[in-house]
Chains A and B, each alone.
Chain A
Amino acid sequence: MPKKHGNSLLELTDRTKRRNAAETRFKAYGIAAIAIGLLMLVILITTIVGKGVGAFQQTFVTLNVELLENKLDKNGNRNLDDIKKVTTFGYAPIIRGAIEAKVKELGIETPLKSKDMAQLLSKDAAAQLREYVLAHPDEIGKTVEFRFLAQSRVDGYLKGRVSRDSIGNDKNISAAQLDLVDALVKVGVIKKTFNSAFIFGSDASDARPEAAGMGVSMVGSLFMMLVVLALALPIGVAASIYLEEFAPQNWLTDIIEVNIANLAAVPSIVFGILGLAVFINYMHLPTSAPLVGGLVLTLMTLPTIIISTRASLKAVPPSIRDAALGVGASKMQAVFHHVLPLAAPGILTGTIIGLAQALGETAPLLLIGMVGFIASNAPDSVASGLLDPNSAMPAQIYEWAKRADPAFYERAWGGIIILLVFLITMNTLAVILRRRFERRW
């Protein structure tokens, strides 16, 4: 059959083909964009988990230590004051003896001297031993089994971070020491196990990455969140009630609304500057204190809480208010007795999300000095928890990331896992609350 004009709908013209191709391309761009976003998420999560999980395991060395009486308690009368006079230096020879004895007992041949063998242990080991002896003076003279932290290079060797090629001129470890580590691993003296000290322990100095933990900074974060909760929730709810239920349309209300909108968009570091200038330089509150951190984060979280609280107040239908007013309640009673309880789940959800945001915030904490020192002591009372210098989880992570020893990087990633666990828990809680209690009118 001869071809007609060639304009059949069933036959694609070049133009239609072009348009269809453009359509497919456009759709592909969209899919690619989403794929990129999700890929980034996957990369981020796998990096965090892959690099951080190691921090929850630590290498330990198990040794039988003979607590020699002639070194630890020369007078032999178990007087605690006398025992305290022996510093950690006095304990070092005992540890050296213990590891040398162990190596000899196992029949491992090594050219190392006892001092180099003891270097496999953390610098923390002597302090750990001393603490034990001070707590149990009766044990002096006996032989006790101890689990010491291995030093970070040994830990890194077992985790694959340190290899024989990479040690080079490292004065903390030598190839002969690694041979000894291999031998000790084979007989189970050196072992990698779960390390709860990373979760509950305190930070440690630059030379002892193996002993550093998140516990104390978690307490610091906890106190900050308590301050934020105690201040931001009541103030935020009060402000929202006023703006949503009582505020007349006038210039004051306008100014307040504009201010809240702007504060929500102010960079967090500006709140840090405010905290430094007002709370520390002007009011002379203590530097690095969780109280100050909490105050700064309160100001930062307020707009978030106000915005979500207003949304949930707005979601309560006017008929509720009208019914309350109709049976003779005052406006204040209608709001506090009826609207507020109905809006409570929404307010709670918003507050939890605001707290989660505050928990992960770092920049303002840098300016009020919650970084840069070693958070080594857990506070012993509420007042000291609020006023004594402490760190916070994200500030602690930043602190580790800044240190020179790569062993701290693993701990920074591990710290992020802990932080994210908190955030995920809080957000899940918020979602559950919303699903469970949200009412559609």
Chain B
Amino acid sequence: MPTIWLVLVLIALSITGFFLGRHRALASANGNSKDLHSLPVYYGNNVALTALVPALVVMAIWSMAQPLIIDSRVSSMIPESAIDEGSTRGLVMSDVRRVAEGLNIAVAEGAMTREQAHDLRSGFSDIRGRLGEVGVALGSEVRPEVLRAAQRYRQASSTGNLAMTIVVALTALAGFGWSYSRTHKDFRARNVVERGILALLIIAASLAILTTVGIVLSMLFETRNFFGLHSWRDFFFGGTWAPNFRGDSELSFLPLLWGTLYISVIALLVAVPVGLFAAIYLSEYAGKATRAIAKPLLEILAGIPTIVYGLFALLTVGPALVRFFGQGENGILGVEWMSGATSVLTAGVVMGVMLIPFVSSLSDDIINSVPQAMRDGSLGLGATKSETVRQVVMPAALPGIVGAILLAASRAIGETMIVVMGAGAIAKFSLNPLDSMTTITTRIVSQLTGDTDFASPETLVAFALGLTLFVLTLGLNVLALYIVRKYREQYE
């Protein structure tokens, strides 16, 4: 692990820098720390940080950029003729990477010498067999173009890694030398260090932007690839979801959207009345003791991981519903409406239970923020408590509650485990809540797990679905925020 060693060396250098810098500063003031501009620690920190941080930044940027550059260089080496019908450059490149990795392992295990790996020619030696011996399985015999590209890839990577080590080490040493030479009793070490720390703080805060950009870019990029392979008309307006790994798939997100929305609506039908009434009771009627017990108990429901709800849907709620609505004569209702445990109702009800505390605690906060004077006024005019709640408190709290419901809807749409385990896998437009249906998140999971081939539309469609989901939930969140801001009643 050369990278780890490099990092350890950098850290060692920076620790040494700390002590040397502090020592030099004290020496320049003849050991009297009162003559220093800053505390001695700051001189040490200055050297340590200047040696470490720029070098780490260079290293991070380099290791991000290197694969990109090498990939594009090597992939331009592969002639069009080496790409089979139905294959893509990306697939050939992943072969190249596998062979290169195999050669690396072979060299590391001593099955080949460095020169052998470099001079191999596919015609003469059985590469597939030899790589198989060291545990790298290749699908087919290695072609000369691929082998040459792989060797080039290895060479470029090792040159790149060497260059990175040198550049990083030089940066660290330069930073060390520069800051060490600047260390003097009149040097404003504290100001420099504090500016450096502020820069680090800003970088940490910007990570949020970086994550969002990463999410959007990674999905946009792959979605573009998807629309290159599959017609966007089918995706948006098709109406059928029938992935087929031999080609000719129909991949429309409409049936999935229908399933997602149907399940979410059922979940909200459970969660909103229960959550809202619970919040009203807790904030308007319940005494202190009841509130202190019931509120945390309800919130336990929010802290339970979704996998638990998923299992509950699959193994408890589903079979219970089947006992009611299925099994024909043997069932409780004697009807045969439901064949399997997975259904829209199963997933919807369980998701609704999960959302109860979400709705209730948000609404509770909002109801509590309605000023007491409004209630007192209403009660003083002779209204009953429930009339006050319905005619005074609720209208005042409405924007906030609508916002809370929208946030709950966004949760429901993005929820994965419950629908993966409880909703089923059949994409269809159906109104029957006892039918098995599928959702956007379920399909993302199923298209991206197992054997995936990142050059086929059947896999890439998951990214388009992910982007749809992202836009949908983001839209709901923004809408919720907008409603709350726009229609909020300002008291006082």
Contact = CB atoms under 8 A, between A and B. Distances in A.
B416 A44 contact: no
Given A269-B416, A398-B310, A238 B201 contact: yes
A37 B274 contact: yes
Given A44-B304, A238-B205, A243-B205, A23 B386 contact: yes
A441 to B, nearest CB: 22
B275 A40 contact: no
Nearest to B219: A273
Contact of A273 (B200, B357, B448): B448
A27 B387 CA distance: 11
Interface string B279-298: 01110110000000010011
B429 interface: no
B417 A363 contact: yes
A20 B384 contact: yes
Nearest to B308: A416
Given A265-B407, A360-B306, A270 B414 contact: yes
B198 A34 contact: no
B438 interface: no
A404 interface: no
Contact of B449 (A23, A263, A369): A369
A297 interface: no
Contacts of B308: 44, 48, 360, 416, 419-420
Interface of B: 1, 64, 67, 97, 190, 194, 197-198, 200-202, 204-209, 211-212, 214-215, 218-219, 221-222, 273-278, 280-282, 284-285, 294, 297-298, 300-301, 303-308, 310-312, 314-316, 353, 356-357, 360, 384-387, 389-390, 407, 410, 413-417, 420-421, 441, 444-445, 448-450, 454, 462-463, 466, 469-470, 473-474, 477
A419 B277 CA distance: 31
Contacts of B197: 332
A29 B277 contact: yes
A348 interface: no
A330 B284 CA distance: 48
B282 A34 contact: yes
Interface in A64-119: none
A407 interface: no
Nearest to A27: B285
B205 A266 contact: no
Contact of B211 (A234, A255, A261, A274): A274
A285 B280 CA distance: 50
B215 A283 contact: no
A174 interface: no
Interface string A314-346: 000000000000000011100000000000000
B469 A267 contact: yes
Interface centre among A269, A273, A281, A367 (most CB of B within 10 A): A269
A308 interface: no
A357 B335 CA distance: 41
Interface string A375-415: 00000000100000000001001100100000001001100
A33 B278 contact: yes
A262 B281 contact: no
A267 B353 contact: no
A427 B304 CA distance: 11
A44 B312 contact: yes
Given A32-B277, A33-B277, A363 B445 contact: yes
B304 A420 contact: yes
A361 interface: yes
A332 B441 contact: no
A268 B416 contact: yes
A55 interface: no
Nearest to A42: B297
Contacts of A32: 277
B386 A27 contact: yes
Nearest to B204: A238
B8 to A, nearest CB: 13
A256 interface: yes
A266 B407 CA distance: 11
Contacts of B414: 266-270
Contacts of B274: 33, 36-37
A278 B415 CA distance: 22
Contacts of B416: 267-269, 362-363, 366
B294 A38 contact: yes
